[in-house]
Copies of this chain bind each other. A is one copy, B any other.
Amino acid sequence: MNKRRISIEDIARRAGVSHSTVSRALRDNALISPKVREEIKRLAQEMSYVPNAIAQSLQNKRTNTIGVVVTSIADPFFAEVVEGIEKIARPAGLSVLLSASHRNFEQEMAAIDTFHRRRVDGILVADSRISKQHIKQLTQIAVPTVLINSQTEDQSEILHSVAIDDRLGAKLATEHLISLGHTAIGYLGVGDRSRSNQQRLEGYQMALTEAGIPPNTDWVSISDEYDTRTSDVNTGKNMLSKLLSAEVTGIFCYNDMVAVGALLACQELGILVPRNLSLVGFDGIALGSYVTPALTTVSQPMLEIGGYAMQMLLDLLEEKTVENRVLSPFLVERGSSAALLTI
């Protein structure tokens, strides 16, 4: 916004009309006579006029901008979700402001605050552990907001959401292992994602119970690191041994990255997957099909999740009423899981 750019005033002067006529002509206001309208448009073109969206926003009280917060841009899961968001936002004429929170409360609040100052029309928050503070903050902004896979029970009425059914997904994964003949089945979770981790744990336990398999606490291993620098892959690598000593033959992992970590650890330990150990992940990120063996996983439709959330925001912006969505994940069977070897 450096130098002086040409404005409707400049065009008006050249056209010998008032600036409001120019404004109207440019916006195809029906009142303007066709001849002047065309002439003005021609002039605008010729002078390479570019409307100032800032001035328009100030006047219209609408910025045509939405804010998106994700924990990490480089995380393949969120990258896909953001891609889905952008695919819907752009054709709708909305620009997206992107911010990463790195699973850090302050950063996330700061990001939302920035969005507030910039007067975004709506906000999308992916995978936050929404706190009371967030609710308060978001309520105050009073702008349509939709939460993606977010961890909150107290859905305030201004917050909407699209989320995956974690419990169902976990159940699918566990039932899959059970159907393959496994009975000693572990869960490898991460401690810093309280709600989703909790729900996946519950789905896992539910599946065991329904199959008449008594749960065993030794089969559950949840990292207690809140260190965001430890990647999920490392979590999987580090936590595997604990489950191995509990002699499980199959493991359901919190997500694909954790499963990849477990897989790498197996390779180091000389454990054959799926011969000696079956592994199931969660998410369905592309990389899961590139590892060897390819990862059996519970897939989330990431692009759709982002797309739905964005569409919901669009509806909200048009004052339509929307309903929260809970999407169902589905099992994708690949090479990392197999029937239990009968000895």
| Residues of A near any B CB (own CB < 8 A) | 1-3, 48, 50-55, 57-58, 60-63, 65, 72-76, 79-80, 82-83, 86-87, 90, 95-100, 111, 113-114, 116-121, 140, 142-143, 233, 260, 263-264, 267, 287, 290-292
Contacts and interface: CB of A to CB of B under 8 A. Distances in A.
Contact of A90 (B48, B75, B99, B287): B99
Nearest to A292: B292
Interface centre among A52, A118, A267 (most CB of B within 10 A): A118
A62 to B, nearest CB: 6
Interface centre among A54, A83, A116 (most CB of B within 10 A): A54
A120 B1 CA distance: 7
Contacts of A86: 73, 98-100
A142 B3 contact: yes
Q: Which 10 A-B pairs have the closest CB atoms?
A: A292-B292, A1-B119, A74-B83, A1-B61, A53-B117, A98-B98, A287-B287, A79-B79, A73-B83, A53-B118
Nearest to A85: B73
A118 B95 contact: yes
Contacts of A50: 113, 116-117
A164 to B, nearest CB: 18
Contacts of A73: 73, 79, 82-83, 86
Contacts of A76: 74, 76, 79
Nearest to A120: B1
A296 to B, nearest CB: 16
A97 B100 contact: no
A54 B48 contact: no
Given A74-B80, A260-B290, A58 B61 contact: no
Contacts of A287: 287, 290
A62 B119 contact: no
Nearest to A93: B114
Contacts of A55: 58
A120 B118 CA distance: 13
Contacts of A48: 140
